[in-house]
Structure 1
Amino acid sequence: MSRTDRTWVLIHGVPLTDAVWEPIVPALGPQPAIAPDCTAIPVGADPQAQLAEAIAQRVGGNIDVVGHSFGGQIAVELALLASERVRSLTIVCSRDTPFPAFKAVAEAIRVGQPPSAQATVDRWFTRSDRERGEALIGLVLEEVSAASYPDWSRALDAIAVYDAASRVSSLHMPVTLIGGGLDGVATPGSMRAFRDRLIDGVSITRDDWSHMSPFAHPGLLARMLVAARDRGTMTDSS
């Protein structure tokens, strides 16, 4: 089922760019898609909410919101801010509770000692992902290597303290959580707890996936996003 009266909003994580969505968009069908650039992390409190507000001002009409990692938290804020326009919300490998361990990583990045691009790729992808996704791995290596340290560190600081657990129960649209059993940040336990706080939440965990594994399977990820979108479509028509 296609929905040309709605717009996909695809929100990337950090320190990546909207380019990660390019292989996914063609498989999403004729519905228009926008992947906003969220690489510049605002200074001050609640950058996720600040970025969500900027997206809400840019994109009009009914929207199907998808967010990965840090982008998943922006997506939550967008759904809370513009709930009357968000027809479905899909969160990929993200969490609604703090991840304090990122404070130390943020501080290391701030002083010019980021994790290596290769170590980051090894953590985000499984060996199978790395073997099948040469172009994607190259893109991620390039983007991590070129990342702005101030923006990256601000995003990790924000993830370290982000807590929407008391607010997500007000989300009335269908919410689908997609995660990986090997993800060390958006762990299966954290995503199950997230789902249990939702009015209409469904969680899908692929035991063999890590944090960026969904992007190594663009066709499958697109089908999962369309299915999540169509859950919202069925709610609209019921």
Structure 2
Amino acid sequence: MTAQPGFSAHSVTIGSGARRALALHCTMAFGGAWTGFSKALPDLTLVAPDMPSHGRSADWDEVSSFGETVFQAALAAMDDGPMDVIGHSFGGMIALRLAVEAPEKLRSLTVIEPVFFAVAKADAPDLLKNHAARAQPFSDAMTARDLETAARTFNRMWSEDAPPWASLPERTRAAMARAVHVVPDTQDFLFDDTAGLLNPGALDACTIPTLVVRGARSHPAITVAIDGITKRMPNATSAVIEGAGHMAPITHPGAVAKVIEPLLARS
């Protein structure tokens, strides 16, 4: 896997707390999406890079590995000293890889709704088949290269309470359609564990204080993945955000911040 040559992520700094954290957003969002969450944790300063094709970062070139590019950009955004790392969805997957490959840079790890389908594939393969059926309209739109339909179906699949697509601002719809082309290139990382996070001596050897968070309305395959991650990591605890779905840090930022506070206190 090779990263996109010359890619440098645009990054925003949110908050002014004494404790610095790296915040990694989900697909079709951007670094600034952490603003509401940041207000609930005033002791943190968040460094929040935009993934390629997201926010104010350059587009992904569709040739290099998207996941490798995001990983290298996240690594470059980290301070020399330990940081708290917080990742949501695909950003949570990058956070897990950082914990395995650069543990000296992490003070604590929080992953929110990480889309680690390889765990579900190992622990509950029938649920993964159900997920694939649910994702078929998105897959069909991507095959047809209908990016707006793909973005609309992807947004609905992961944001159950999202307003109707037509009611979203045109700028928001355009940003999502711009970003959605990255999704197919993430599949090997998420479903086949090409980063080797499930290999012996990877997650199972990670002793960083870790919190794994899901919404109470989490997709069944994600719930299994989250349970599997927590079970495999020796210093991990889990938390459930009542009333929330996949987009918990955006829809329920205060509740997510509250469950993270004990982790920060013990890290």
TM-score range, shorter chain: 0.7 to 0.9
- Counterpart Cα distance in 2 of 1:103 and 1:170: 36
| 1:159 aligned partner, one-letter code | L
Residue 196 of structure 1 deviates from its aligned partner by 0.6
The residue number in structure 1 matching 2:7 is none
| TM-score, normalised by the number of residues in structure 2 | 0.69
Q: Is the 8 A contact 2:150 2:177 kept in 1?
A: no
How far, CA to CA, are the matches of 1:96 and 1:155 in structure 2? 11
| Matching residue of 1:123 | 157
> Structure 2: where are the runs of 5+ without partners?
1-15, 54-59, 122-127
Query: What do the CA deviations read for 1:30-52 (whole angstroms, capped 9, x no partner)?
Result: 3321011113457445x434422
1:1-238 matches, within 5 Å, as 4=18, 6-40=19-53, 43-45=63-65, 47-60=66-79, 61-98=81-118, 101=132, 105=138, 108-109=141-142, 111-114=144-147, 115=149, 117-127=151-161, 142=173, 145-156=176-187, 158-162=189-193, 164-166=197-199, 167-184=202-219, 187-206=222-241, 208-232=243-267
Cα distance in 2 for partners of 1:138, 1:174 equals 39
Instruction: Describe the superposition over 1:50-76 as per-residue Cα deviations: whole angstroms up to 9, x where unpaired.
Output: 422332223212100011111111101
Deviation at 1:185, TM superposition (A): 6.5
> What's the CA shift string for 1:178-231, capped at 9, x where partnerless?
012432265222211110101111011235322113311122222223333223
SS where residue 28 of structure 2 aligns? coil
Q: Deviations over 1:80-111 (max 9, x none)?
A: 22201201000000144426737994574253
| Conserved 8 A contact 1:173-1:200 | yes
SS of 1:35's partner is strand
Quote the residue 1:235 is aligned against: none
TM-score using structure 1 length: 0.77
Which ranges in structure 1 are unaligned for 5 or more consecutive residues? 233-238
Distance 1:39-1:229 versus aligned 2 partners, 3 A rule: farther
Higher relative contact order, chain-length normalized (CA < 8 Å, sep 6+): 1
